[in-house]
Structure 1
Amino acid sequence: MDNRYFHPESLMMSYGYKPALSEGAIKCPIFQTSTFVFNSAEEGKAFFEVAYGQREKAPNEELGLIYSRLNNPDLQILEERLCLWDGADECAVFESGMSAISTVMLEFLRPGDVLLYSKPVYGGTDHFINKVLPEYGIHGFGFTNNQSAEELVEEIQSKGLGEKLKMVYVETPANPTNALFDLEICKKVADAFSSESKDVVVCVDNTYMGPLWQHPLKHGADLVVYSATKYIGGHSDLIAGAVLGHSKYMKRVRTLRTFLGNMAGPWTGWLLMRSLETLKVRMTQQAENAIKVAEFLKNHPKVEKVYYLGHLEQGTSQHAIFKKQLFCAGAMLSFDIKGGEKEAFKFLNSLRLIKLAVSLGSTESLAEHPETMTHSDVSEEDKRTMGITEKLIRLSVGVEHYSDIIWDIEQALEKA
């Protein structure tokens, strides 16, 4: 039967791998090698022609193996499998999420260009946009989720930034507030400033939703970035990133990755392939647990507010975006504890099952304090505007039994 009849979760164990090429091994081996042997000089020449874009692949021609900075079976098969979830033409896996994000920005932005980005974004992304890119003459211009396409276009034009705008970068849901951004609006803004000679690229950080719960490419995005450390890896035992999208843009991303040399290694690729096999069952359990945890927090007297997508009020613009773009409320939530930093720290220090650590999407539940940890480098003005306060706590719900997670939260709240 043709592969197109199978669901992605069914293909995660086999897609792209030919056991006959690896002594019949049912799982792809770890190709721990730096270079690959050519059968002839002519074959080596042909492989390099394709790898360096000197010619297109012939029909049914497979990309030849040259050197693990350019390609490696573990990465190649992993990238093919990741494409199945998002419906992407191509994928490139990196050494970290920030490596993926920074490579995309460096490829599509040049000195004098402007990047339109959603607020808030992950703290590392915020730092790169506001502290690193300006050193190269590239400047970020932030927008919030309560601005319409028309308002954004007018504001960009009024500031004289239209000709300079080269990318719209959006993180939705936003870390750590779960604020949703309408990708249709982002695409309209990008199209308004695109021309025959200039594409304004729409890039979406989909880390919070993983490959399962949202597919930005189907809503107008050109590229999707992930910290693959999170749900894709899912076990807190690796660091990786990924970029997926249309071939037109991915060829440029892949080329820069080759010369920056920031691709993931074969061991990381193998671990990620292992993780993809359980991606759906892990994320499904995490989402089910999060429903129960969020409901508990919603009714607790020491909790002021819960930021959870499953609690969005019907009839609101946020709920409309949720229904249009997402398949699930996910397993990330934040809440405001009554009090401030003292109470938040007391809660975090009292946890017994949930781990006090940054990152998210892993099998174990994690808790952290965004204001002083992941988002500590964000400007004070932006933190206050976005609701990243000293009383905000972020939770990544894991696969433990939900009653144990709730028990831990309850006993920690009692001590806060």
Structure 2
Amino acid sequence: MNNRYFQPESLMMSHGYKPALSEGAIKCPIFQTSTFVFNSAEEGKAFFEVAYGQREKEPNEELGLIYSRLNNPDLQILEERLCLWDEADECAVFESGMSAISTVMLEFLRPGDAILYSKPVYGGTDHFINKVLPEYGITGHGFTNTQSEEEVFQDLKGKGLEHKVKMVYVETPANPTNALFDLEECKKIADRLSTSDKEVVVCVDNTYMGPLWQHPLKHGADLVVYSATKYIGGHSDLIAGAVLGKSKHMKRVRTLRTFLGNMAGPWTGWLLMRSLETLKVRMSKQAENTVEVAQYLSQHPKVEQVYYLGHLEEGSRQYAIYKKQHSSAGAMLSFDIKGGEAEAFKFLNNLKLIKLAVSLGSTESLAEHPATMTHSDVSKEDKDSIGITEKLVRLSIGVEHPSDIIWDIEQALEKC
């Protein structure tokens, strides 16, 4: 029994926590404190030496508690538990998904560099790449899932960027179209662009799949980012982000987080620990519901096309990627409603059970209009080329009874 390998969902209630250190409390308390008392000046010195990278930890030495900007029991235990799902070396939790994404980009990119990114990406990420990073002399160059490895490389070469790329940033499945990108191919591109004195880092936004249905580190990624607000939090009651990966990269991410001060607080850490206990149960139910919803939509006369991983054509390139990288079709889908913005808005305005709101991955079903909401700031050229049209509606399926979700969709479509 002592040698038993427990699955992550079995460890979410206990991993990393020692009740004896907290008066025997079965759940980790909220450590609502800014600073921690040292037993001696020598101990404080030793803790800071490790925290600021002045020396490496000794074997079996743990980084002592110093200050909640550097470490806090709620965050430390949460980060250890998140590592179990993705089998990551380390994890760092942030105050939002964009905080996690922007910190990674600012750490690994410098003026004169370029970032190669998949299209589409979340609207906030698109804005940061195309509106914020250029202010720092950093160029963004997008590629789509219709391009081959060689086409991407030749495109970069044609623009004189092949020697400037320092990061390949991939969001797969893509928000909001569910477009898939082959992570092993992305790693090959990164390796091809790397040199003896320049490593091109592969970072993957895995928010759409959560920690359950896809594990990018197993397919060549160096770093994984999440909006932990979504499936990890799962209850629409917190904002958080997370970065996971190899120790050599995470050391840099953690250091910048320390000095930007954008770590999550203990209350958020505690809420996320609570949410991790039901992560697999929630996500499994959401995926089951989505199968039925997607099937209904695919047969509705007012729906032109459904973008759902479970409906990919067998034998297609997208299907091959799906089978290689995913254990589920997930709980996100989009569909084109016949008509345009007016019909999409009429559908959204007549929903009764499903909530008209941005975000995703929560227990309640959510609907939104990407072209005018989450992706409103994406250029018209990009919207047109990647299918973010006025007729596109995005759904995040929750844990309600599937017949109720379908009833709501049916009555709203009838009013279009």
Q: With the length of structure 2 as denominator, give the TM-score of the two structures.
A: 0.99
> Which residue of structure 2 aligns with residue 142 of structure 1?
142
Task: Single out whichever of 56-65 and 29-38 deviates more from structure 2.
Answer: 56-65
Residue 81 in structure 1 maps to residue 81 in structure 2? yes
Q: Paired residue for 1:96?
A: 96
Q: Note the aligned Cα RMSD (angstroms).
A: 0.8
Q: Distance in 1 between matches of 2:65 and 2:379?
A: 46
- 1:203-225, Cα deviation, whole Å (9 max, x unpaired): 00000000000000000000000
Cα distance in 2 for partners of 1:373, 1:231 equals 20
- Could you tell me which residue of structure 2 aligns to residue 126 of structure 1? 126
Matches within 5 A, 1:40-119: 40-119=40-119
Paired residue total: 416
Q: Which residue of 2 aligns with 1:292?
A: 292
1:382 aligns with 2:382: yes
Residue 270 of structure 2 is matched in structure 1 by 270
- Counterparts of 1:340 and 1:277 in 2: how far apart (Å)? 41
Q: CA 1:11/1:99 → structure 2, altered by over 3 Å: closer, same or farther? A: same
Cα distance in structure 1, aligned partners of 2:8 and 2:88:
13
1:14-29 to 2 correspondences below 5 Å: 14-29=14-29
How far did residue 327 of structure 1 move?
0.5
Give the Cα–Cα distance (whole angstroms) in 2 for the partners of residues 168 and 117 of structure 1: 6
**Residues in 1 aligned to 2:99 and 2:3: alpha-carbon distance in whole angstroms:** 32
- Which amino acid in the other structure matches residue 337 of structure 2? I
Equivalents in 2 of 1:336, 1:401: separation in Å? 24
- Percent identity between matched residues is 85
Indicate yes or no: 2:356 matched with 1:356: yes
Q: CA deviation at 1:152?
A: 1.4
Query: Quick one: distance in 2 between partners of 1:4 and 1:344?
Result: 52
User: Partner letter of residue 236 of structure 1?
Assistant: S
Q: What is the rounded CA distance, in whole Å, between the counterparts of 1:31 and 1:230 in structure 2?
A: 24
Residue of structure 2 in register with 1:205 after alignment: 205
Aligned counterparts of 1:160 and 1:300: Cα–Cα separation in 2: 47
Residue 150 of structure 1, CA deviation: 1.6
Instruction: Describe the shift of the 1:4–1:218 C-alpha distance in structure 2 as closer, same or farther (beyond 3 A).
Output: farther
Question: What is the letter of the counterpart of residue 265 of structure 2?
Answer: G
In structure 2, the residue matched to 1:320 is 320
- The equivalent of 1:159 in structure 2 is 159
Q: Deviations over 1:155-198 (max 9, x none)?
A: 22232212211000000000000000000111000000112211
Distance in 2, Cα, partners of 1:151 & 1:189: 11
Unaligned stretches of 5+ residues in structure 2: none
Supply the AA of the counterpart residue of 1:138: I
CA distance in 2: counterparts of 1:192 and 1:127, whole angstroms: 27
Distance 1:104 1:61, change over 3 A: same
Cα gap change, 1:4 to 1:388, in 2 (>3 Å): farther
| Aligned-partner Cα distance in 1 for 2:335–2:155 | 32
Distance 1:4 1:29 in 2: 28
SS across alignment from 2:140: strand
Provide the secondary structure at the position in 1 that maps to 2:372.
coil
Q: Describe the SS at the equivalent of 1:33.
A: coil
Deviations, residues 15-40 of structure 1 (Å, cap 9, x unaligned): 00000000000000000000000000
* 2:309 is aligned with 1:309: yes
C-alpha displacement of 1:2: 4.9
Please give the alpha-carbon distance, in whole angstroms, between the structure 1 residues aligned to 2:179 and 2:325: 13
1:353–1:10 CA distance, 2 compared to 1 (3 A): same
Gap change, CA 1:335 and 1:112, over 3 Å in 2: same
SS of the residue corresponding to residue 5 of structure 1 reads: coil
Distance in 2 (alpha carbons) for counterparts of 1:349 and 1:336: 16
Does 2:389 match 1:393?
Answer: no
Instruction: Trace 1:173-212 onto structure 2 (pairs within 5 A).
Output: 173-212=173-212
Taking structure 1 as reference, are residues 160 and 14 closer, same or farther at Cα in structure 2, changes over 3 Å only? same
Deviations 1:73-96 (A, max 9, x none): 000000000000001000000000
CA distance in 1, matches of 2:93, 2:399: 26
Q: Tell me, in whole angstroms, the C-alpha distance in 1 between the residues paired with 2:155 and 2:307.
A: 29
| Paired residue secondary structure (2:371) | coil
Distance 2:197 2:115 in 1: 18
Deviation at 1:154, TM superposition (A): 2.1
CA distance in 2, matches of 1:289, 1:271: 25
Q: Alignment partner of 2:39: what SS?
A: coil
CA distance in 2, matches of 1:14, 1:319: 37
Q: CA deviation at 1:199?
A: 0.5
| Separation (CA, whole Å) in 1 of partners of 2:386 and 2:146 | 12
